[in-house]
Amino acid sequence: MALQSPKNFSTQKTRIKLVLGIIIFFFFCLSLHLFNLQVIQGSREGEKVYANTSQNVDILLPRRGTIYDRSGKVLAQSVDCYRVDIRPAEIKPENRPDVASKLSQILRIPEEKILELFAKYYEPFPLDRQIDSEMADKVKSLSLPGVDILPSEKRVYPYGALAAHILGFVHPDFGFNGREELFGLEGIEAAFESTLHGNPGVVVQYFSPIGEKLPIPPSQMQPVENGKDIVLTIDTTIQNITETALEKAVQEKKARSGCAIVFDVKSGEILALASFPDFDPNNWSSVKKEDLQNVATQFSYEPGSAIKFVVGAAALEEGVVEPDTIVEDDGPIVIDGNIFSCPSEFGGPHGKQNLYQLFKNSCNVGFIKLGQMLGIDRMYKYFKLFGFGSPSNFELPASLGKITPQDEWSKSDLAAVSFGYGLEVTPLQLASAFQIISNDGKYVPLHIVKEIRENGKAIESFDFTFTKQVISKRTALQLREALKGPVEGKVPQGLDQYGVFGKTGTARAWKDGQYTDLNNTTFVGAFPIDNPRIGILVNINEPQVEFAYAVRVCVPVFMEIAAKIVDIMRFPLP
Amino acid sequence: MRGKPLTIFLLMLVLAGVGLIIVGSATSWISLKEFNDSFYMLKKQALSFLLGLISFLILFSIPLNTLKKYGNWIMIVALFLMALLLTPFAVNSGGSTRWVYFSGFQFQPSEVVKLAAIIFFSALFSNTSFNRGSWKAWAVAALLALIPVACIAVEPDIGSAITILAVLSILFFAGGMPIKQMIVGIPVIAGGLAVIILTVPYAKARVLSFANPGLDPLGTGYNQIQSLIGVKAGGLLGRGLGLSLQKFQWLPQAYNDFIFSILAEEIGFLGVLAVLGIYLALVIVGFQVGLRSRQPFNSLLAAGISGLLAIQALLHIGVSSGALPVTGITLPFLSYGGTSLLISMAACGILARIAKEEVSAL
């Protein structure tokens, strides 16, 4: 076979070189194209390129923290359960009666109700949020299209209504990525929402187009962080005693509402905080709005005579009186045209009295005179020092109360405030002020959260040993002696050996811009007098019985609670 | 073997090795599901690789003159194999008839035809009796070229038809087609392609979905969208060998017509660039071997074979990366498929032979 002509062959080689050049050029272009796709676009989109395909983002919901009492009893806890979600669009109209009937049998929801909901919603909706695993399995086994079983969470309050106002409750709402989660709506559940809630985790799972889980380990983009636990200062036993005594009194005295606070005067820890009417947080959806008010922290009222211990403390601390100084009630006092007096039904005029007698008689005229001796500036100063009208750092939502600004006080205001009118306080503020007297003049904030725990270990403790000396120890001791007056002869046997001191207060209830015929009654006291440990405040509002005075309404409740606490805590005799 | 033949052999081995690795990764899930053995398809491919090595050695040992001499017969045998597609031995899959099944053994005649046509036309154009100046000679050559192209196109297998058309175009061009004839020929080819695209419904749909993959994301645009996801997900360094997500049936034909997408997903841009570099190295060496040759037949044959490897790679990668409309083209050495691997390795055997004969001729 002969060779081609050299000319043809060289043309062939030139052309082959040209072809090679074109191929190299195409390879180069393709590399640039791939660089753009993989490096530029790829790094911009990252893992997101898989969105809507193989990746399925799974949200791991955090476990809500548990709330414990001081001894570790569970007051609120989350448990796993299941929910039934319905996607109505995926249930054919002709199948609906059948689906409704099957679900009705398992979930115990009336068939008509289910059918009604099917018709009402187009978007997916939850039919039942809290079913147990047994029910969930039954529904699952039906494998009904448009009916999903999803993991869910249920909040359980094992003691029912006990400490309801402290704990509050939770309610479901849309959380992370539109997933339903529980959020605190009242009480500690709401106030410590971020502590209790935790943070959801994000896990990416991989699936095939027909939904098979791929043999690729899920990648955790964000680990789940469970909620932290809260330990309250509350003692469940004392809380129970307190609630029982309060509820009984409120009902017997046909009162509108009431509260009781039991606190450790040295540590500031609240051992019990009861408010009535109450509710069951397990069944919060049936709660009436007015029942939600925490009387102890949110009820703001004129305390009446209960405030007099503050006036007494100011007078002693400022040296305007000594315990044996005689203050005379010689009948009504007229200030700026207003008449102030001790009515005869309360034994007025009281005549000459020392401090003990002033407290025992709860003599308005006498305390007005003390107020006048102190003057507006000093009175205002001590009310602020004792925490009235100021925001507190209390853990639960609390009212400020109301105190007239110093420069607006008239002489009448000074007189009114001296016996507990013309200002508003909350029971918690009164208890907090009384803590100062009981703790030798040292202020320790009343508080209800003892510890925040994570995995059983305390990560934050709220111990307040000493924060502020408000009045001298001498003043506190003198005042305590005088405060035995109001309970003289009222302390039951057994308790009397410890020595109880305190102050009653009965004030007209204010409603719709005027005073009513009803009273708000208060007693705040503490014991043992020589080394006070427990303070108790009882407040009962608008009792509708004869002799609706604090000494008849609140003092017995105090004594009942105190006697039981002495029993439980095995107080050593003085 | 040493020098250029050895270089060709080693480059081929590297590519085939990468191929076995990526086929292993891309087929494990489907193998497990279909055959209850995640290595089933890899084992089959490894067997093809061994057969490929044998065919490399066989073709390496056949003198080129013999190939040239029997060029006509090779073409006839290849067309006979194509004709088997009209017999009951043919397997129809996915609407097209591309495979012949013969007592447990399955192969794709079009792969054979590609190589046969290159040998045939290299022989034709290097024959001294071929009159380059005559219109008639080129018209006859063009008609002959139409036979394999048309046979493959009607399977239908537009991708392979376009590949063979492109390779034969290179041979026609390098074989000395005068400018005048080209001026007439190119519009004829372009017109023919346009007619195919406009008349074959699936070809038309693919071109349209290439222009806008979102048009029918679950239909014709699906492959393209899923393939691009894999390529992009690879990024610079890749997700790591075996860690492709798209291979889990998100990308149909992941182990075959879209193997590049899985490769890109697992080894990233740098890895892909390395593989492209090896391809280009093999292609350049192949062309060089041809350019150094003193035999016009050898030179054309080398250009045709190297061109075939280059064109298949460019088309496959172009399709997988969304630069070209979707058409099923295997990636030589990397795609799953015994015929493709065997023929690609046999083709390398011929390239190595050309290199060897040049060395011994010196």
Residues across chain B = 362
**Cβ contact, residue pair A38, B132, below 8 Å:** no
B245 with A54: Cβ contact below 8 A: yes
CA dihedral angle for residue B339, residue B343, residue B346, residue B348, rounded to 10 degrees = -130
> How does pLDDT run across B326-336, given as a tens digit for each residue?
888 899 999 99
Distance CA A548, CA B85 (A): 108
pLDDT of residue A55: 66
Residue for token pair 């405040």 = A537
Q: Which residues of B touch A210 (CB under 8 A)?
A: 249
pLDDT digits (tens, 9 = 90+) for B240-280: 888 888 888 888 888 888 999 999 999 999 999 999 999 99
C-alpha to C-alpha distances, A563 to A30, A528, A559, A570, nearest whole angstrom:
91, 12, 6, 10
Interface of B with A in 74-103 (CB under 8 A): none
Quick check: B331 and B259 in contact, CB under 8 A?
yes
User: Is the minimum CB–CB distance between A219 and chain B shorter than 8 Å?
Assistant: no
What per-residue confidence (pLDDT) applies to A180? 82
CA distances from A353 to A323, A326, A362, A479, B355 (A): 10, 5, 11, 15, 130
Report the residue from B176, B234, B296 with minimal CB separation from A42: B234
Q: Measured between beta carbons, which residues in chain A are less than 8 angstroms from residue B294?
A: 3
Confidence of residue B128 (pLDDT cuts 50, 70, 90): confident
Q: How far apart are CA B306 and CA B291, in angstroms?
A: 12
What is the pairing mode between strands A219-222 and A468-469?
unpaired
Q: Tell me, what's the pLDDT at A54?
A: 64
A209 touches B: beta carbon within 8 Å:
yes
pLDDT of residue A390: 84
What pLDDT is recorded for position A18? Answer: 94
**pLDDT > 70: what percent of chain A?**
97
Closest Cβ–Cβ partner in A16, A26, A35 for B299: A16
- Residue A443 pLDDT more than 90? yes
Diameter of chain B measured on Cα atoms: 61
- What is the average per-residue pLDDT within A411-439? 95
pLDDT number for residue A88? 83
**H or E element, residue A57:** strand A55-60
Helix (H, G, I), strand (E, B) or coil at A119: helix
* B233/A208 Cβ within 8 A: no
The burial class, CB within 10 Å (0-12 / 13-18 / 19+), for B270 is: middle
pLDDT digits (tens, 9 = 90+) for A167-204: 999 998 887 777 788 999 999 999 999 999 998 888 88
What number is the average pLDDT over the span A521-538? 96
A chain contacts of residue B323, beta-carbon cutoff 8 Å: 30, 33
pLDDT, chain B, mean: 89
pTM, two decimal places: 0.68
**Is residue A283 within 8 Å of A290, Cβ to Cβ?**
no
pLDDT value for A574: 60
Count Cβ–Cβ pairs < 8 Å, chain A vs chain B: 144
Asked if the Cβ–Cβ distance from B250 to A27 is below 8 Å, we say no
- Is residue B46 classed exposed, middle or buried when 0-12, 13-18 and 19+ CB atoms within 10 A define those classes? middle
> Hey, which bits of A233-287 come out as E strands?
257-264, 270-276
Among candidates A16, A24, A34 on the partner chain, residue whose Cβ is nearest the Cβ of B303 = A16
Average pLDDT in chain A: 90
Tell whether the model's pLDDT for residue A513 goes beyond 90. no
Query: Which pLDDT score is estimated for B34?
Result: 87
Over the stretch A231-249, which tens digit does the pLDDT of each residue have?
A: 999 999 999 999 999 999 9
Q: CB–CB of A179/A172 below 8 Å? A: no
Where is A324: in which H helix or E strand? Answer: none
Distance (Å, rounded) from C-alpha A458 to C-alpha A297? 27
| Partner A contacted by B271 (CB < 8 A) | no
Whether pLDDT at A446 is above 90? yes
